[in-house]
Chains A and B, each alone.
Chain A
Amino acid sequence: MGMTMTQKILAAHAGLDSVEAGQLIEAKLDVVMANDITGPMALPILAQMTDTVFDKDKVVFVPDHFTPNKDIKSAENSKAIREFAKAQGLTNYFEQGKSGVEHAILPESGIVVAGQCIIGADSHTCTYGALGAFSTGVGTTDIAAGMATGEAWFKVPSAIKFVLTGKLGPYVSGKDVIIHIIGRIGVDGALYKSMEFVGDGIASLTMDDRFTMANMAIEAGAKNGIFAVDDQTITYMKEHATKEYAVYEADADAEYDEIIEVDLSKVRPTVAFPHLPGNAKTIDEVEAMEPIKIDQVVIGSCTNGRMTDLRRAAAVLKGRTVHPDVRVMVVPATQKIYKQCIAEGLVDIFIDAGCAFNTPSCGPCMGGHMGVMAAGEKCVSTTNRNFVGRMGHVDSLIYLASPEVAAASAIAGYIANPEKVGDR
C-alpha cells in the first residue's frame, strides 16, 4: 500500500521501509525546539533523564512569548534557558536582538528544511510543513524526552488530501484559504490527521502563504500540515539554508481518508468570528451585517508576521490613516523582516498611518503583553486563535483575518473589505 508524504518521512526516520496509519513508531528527530514558556518547564524534567542534550546542533531555544521579558517571573524563565543554552554550548539559542518569533526564525535561519522530522514545544510547530517537513507540536515532557534521546513516539497519522487548483484573486492570501478550509472541515475536522496540500494551485502561493496555511493546520486539530515541495520551496531553501534536504512525494496509491478540492480563484477574503478559528464568514457576509466596530488591530505573529504579509498590509495603509478609535500594533516576526521593512519604507507607511511598530514577539497573540485587551473590546488580528480570553479579558472578542482585511479594518474602524479601501 502506498504512503502519504508524512508517512514516508516518518518511515525514513523510524528506520522502516514502510509504515501505515495507526502504527506506533519511535522516530529520530532532526530538530527539537522550545520557547521561554515551555523550555524552562522542560529543564527539571530533562535533568531527571540526562545531564546533556542528545545533540547541541539539533536542540534549539527561542525566547519569544513573554520577551522582551514582561515581568520578573518571565525574566527568570528566560534566564534559565539562556544559562542552560550556554552551559550546553547550543548552536542555536536566539537572544533578543538576533531573534524573532520561533516559527519565522527557524525557516529564515535555515534550521528547518524539507524531509526533516521536527518537534517543538509549541502547537504552531506545524508551520514548517510549508517546506515539506514533518513537523508537529508537543508538550513539555515530550520535548524534554526529545532533547535527552533525540527520539519521539508517534502514532502514524492518516491524511486528508487538499487539492488546490486555480489562482488567488487580489486581496486574497493564504490566511483566507486556511480560514476557509477550517470553516469547511471544522476545528476538529483533521483531528489526529495530516493535512497534505498538493495540486497546481500551490504554484501561485508564495512561501509566506504556505507558512500561514501550514501554521494553522493545528486549528483544524491536525497533527501536521505539509506542502508538496516545488521550485519555490527549493529556491527558498537555497537562499536560507545550507543543510541537506530530502524531497518526499506521496505515492500514487497513497490512501487518504478524504480528498477535498479547493478552487483558489473562488476563495474570498474570509474572517473567523469569535470564538473558534472555524467560525468562518466571507467578507461579503460580513458586509451584509451591521458594521462591527473594533478597538484594536494586530498585524504580525507566527501566522502573518512575514515580509509578504507586511507588504500587503502596508499597500492598504499607504497614504491613509488609522481610524481615531482604533489602535494598531504591527509586529514584524524577525529582526531581518524588521530591517527589510525599514529598507522598503514600510515602517514609514505604518507609522505615518498611526500604527505602533513593535519589536518581534508573540506578546499580543496569547494575551501575554504588548497589546492585551480590556473587557468588551474587539480586535481584528492576523494571529491564529480567537478563543475566549485568548488576547486578554475573558469578555474581549477576536476576529481572525488576513493582513489586508486587518489593515482595511484599521482604517475604517470596523471590519472592512480591503477591495474597497486599497489600491494595488
Chain B
Amino acid sequence: MKALGRVFKYGDNVDTDVIIPARYLNSFDAQELASHAMVDIDPEFASKVQPGDLIVANKNFGCGSSREHAPLCLKTAGVSCIIAETFARIFYRNAINIGLPIIECPEAAKNIEAGDEVEVDFDSGKIYNKTKGTEFQGQAFPEFMQKIIKAEGLVNYINNK
C-alpha cells in the first residue's frame, strides 16, 4: 500500500480545534465535516486538497480534543497520509482506528516542504520526497497496531476476533 501526493505543510501543535472547529461538531456527516477541514488554520485547504495529498507537520500534531471528527474530516477530504515529528496520543489512536495512515518521522517532517511531491510505502515505512530526491525511514507500527490497520480499523479487528 502506497500514498502519493502533494504536501500541505504545517508547524507545531496543530490542534483539533483548528482542524475542525467545535461550531461544526453538531454534525458527524463525513462529507460535511470534510468541507470545513483545517478552516481555522488554512481556509483554502478544503478547496485545494486533492485525493492522495499528504499533510506534513512538526511536533504534537492533533493535540487537544478527542474529537474523531478531526482525522475523519482529513481522511474524507482525501488526505492519504500524515507525517509528523510527533502526534498527540488521542489523535494517533483515532487515526489508526479509522484507517488513516500516520507516520512519525522527525527527519522527514523537517525536510519536506509545502508543495513537495511525496511517496510513502506503508509496508516498509519508507518516505520518498520526489521533489527533492531525499528518502527517509519512518517508524514502523508495532505488530498489534498493524493488525488493526490490516483489518482496516478497530471495528473489523474486533468483529474478526
Q: Which residues of A contact B (CB under 8 A)?
A: 24, 37-38, 40-41, 45, 48-49, 65-66, 70-71, 73-74, 77, 121-123, 125, 137-142, 144-145, 148-149, 153, 155, 187-188, 191-192, 218, 221, 223, 276, 366-368, 385, 387-390, 394
- A149 partner residues in chain B, CB cutoff 8 A: 158
Closest-CB distance, B45 to chain A (whole angstroms): 14
B17 contacts chain A at the CB level, 8 A cutoff: yes
Chain B residues positioned under 8 Å from A70 (CB to CB):
26
Task: Given A40-B28, A144-B155, A145-B154, answer yes or no on A121-B142 (Cβ-Cβ < 8 Å).
Answer: no
**Residue numbers in A under 8 Å from B90 (CB-CB):** 123, 137-139, 218
Tell me the total A-B contact number using a CB cutoff of 8 A. Answer: 123
Is B114 on the interface with A (CB-CB < 8 A)? no
B18 adjacent to chain A (CB < 8 Å):
yes
10 closest A-B pairs by CB = A139-B94, A139-B68, A73-B26, A141-B97, A41-B28, A140-B68, A188-B60, A366-B22, A123-B66, A389-B40
What CA separation (Å) do A70 and B71 show in the bound complex? 25
Which residues of the other chain, A, contact B27 by a CB distance below 8 angstroms?
A: 73
Mask, B40-77, CB within 8 Å of A = 1, is 11000000000000000001100111111101000000
Q: Which residues of A contact B159 (CB under 8 A)?
A: 48-49
Chain B residue numbers with a CB within 8 Å of A148 are: 158
Knowing that A123-B66, A141-B97 are A-B contacts, what are 19 other residue pairs whose CB atoms are under 8 Å apart, sorted by A's residue number? Answer: A37-B22, A41-B68, A49-B155, A139-B68, A139-B97, A141-B155, A145-B154, A187-B60, A188-B13, A191-B60, A191-B88, A366-B17, A366-B65, A385-B64, A385-B65, A387-B18, A388-B40, A388-B41, A390-B17
Q: Which residues of B contact A (CB under 8 A)?
A: 13, 15, 17-18, 21-23, 25-28, 40-41, 59-60, 63-69, 71, 86, 88-90, 93-94, 97-98, 142, 144-145, 153-155, 158-159
The docked-state distance in angstroms from the alpha carbon of A49 to that of B25 is 24
Kindly list chain B residues whose C-beta atoms are within 8 Å of the C-beta of A138. 66, 90, 93-94
**A304 → chain B closest CB, angstroms:** 18
- Residue among A66, A155, A188, A223 with most chain B CB within 10 A: A188
Q: Which residue of chain A lies nearest to B18 when distances are taken between CB atoms in the complex?
A: A388
> What is the predominant secondary structure among interface residues of chain A facing chain B?
loop
Q: A142-B94, A366-B22, A389-B17 are in contact. Are A153 and B88 (CB under 8 A)?
A: no
The reply to whether B155 and A145 form a contact with Cβ atoms under 8 Å apart is yes
Given A140-B68, A145-B158, A367-B23, do A192 and B89 touch, yes or no (CB 8 Å)? yes
Question: When chains A and B are docked, how far (Å) is the Cα of A40 from the Cα of B15?
Answer: 23
Please name 19 pairs of A and B residues whose Cβ atoms are closer than 8 Å in the assembled complex, sorted by A.
Answer: A37-B22, A38-B67, A77-B26, A122-B66, A137-B66, A138-B93, A138-B94, A139-B94, A140-B68, A148-B158, A187-B63, A188-B86, A188-B88, A191-B88, A192-B89, A367-B21, A387-B15, A390-B17, A390-B22
CA distance A77 to B25 in the complex (A): 10
In the complex, what distance in Å separates the CA atom of A123 from the CA atom of B18?
16
Residues A48 and B17 in contact, CB atoms below 8 Å apart: no
**Contact between chains at B13 and A38 (CB < 8 Å):** no
With A148-B158, A153-B144, A389-B21 as known contacts, state yes or no: A123 contacts B65, CB within 8 Å.
yes
Given A49-B158, A191-B86, A388-B17, A74–B63 Cβ distance below 8 Å?
A: no
Chain A min CB distance to B15 (Å): 5
**Structural contact, A142 and B154, CB atoms closer than 8 A:** yes
Q: B20 → chain A, closest Cβ, in Å? A: 11
Looking across the interface, which residue of chain B has its beta carbon closest to that of A44? Answer: B28
Across-interface contacts of B93 in A (CB, < 8 A): 138-139, 142
Which of B60, B66, B98, B144 contacts A24 (CB under 8 A)? B144
Is A141 a contact partner of B144 (Cβ separation < 8 A)?
no
CB distance from A127 to the nearest CB of B (A): 13
The interface residues of chain B lying within 8 Å CB-to-CB of A153 are 144
Q: Are A37 and B155 in contact (CB under 8 A)?
A: no
Contact assessment for A368 and B66 in the assembled complex, using a CB-CB cutoff below 8 Å: no
Please, how many angstroms separate the alpha-carbon atoms of A122 and B68 in the complex? 10
